[in-house]
Amino acid sequence: MNEIRSMDTEALISTALREAGYAPDAIGSALPRIMRILYAEDVRLAVGRKLSRKEREYVRVQLEIGLSVSEIVAGLQR
The DSSP line for 27-69 is HHHHHHHHHHHHHHHHHHHHHTSPPPHHHHHHHHHHHHTT--H
- The domain locations on the chain are 2-76
| Portion of the chain with pLDDT greater than 70, in percent | 91
pLDDT tens column, 16-71 = 999 999 999 999 999 999 999 999 999 999 999 999 999 999 999 999 999 999 99
Q: Biggest alpha carbon distance in the chain?
A: 44
- Are 35 and 7 in contact by the 8 Å Cβ rule? The answer is no
pTM: 0.80
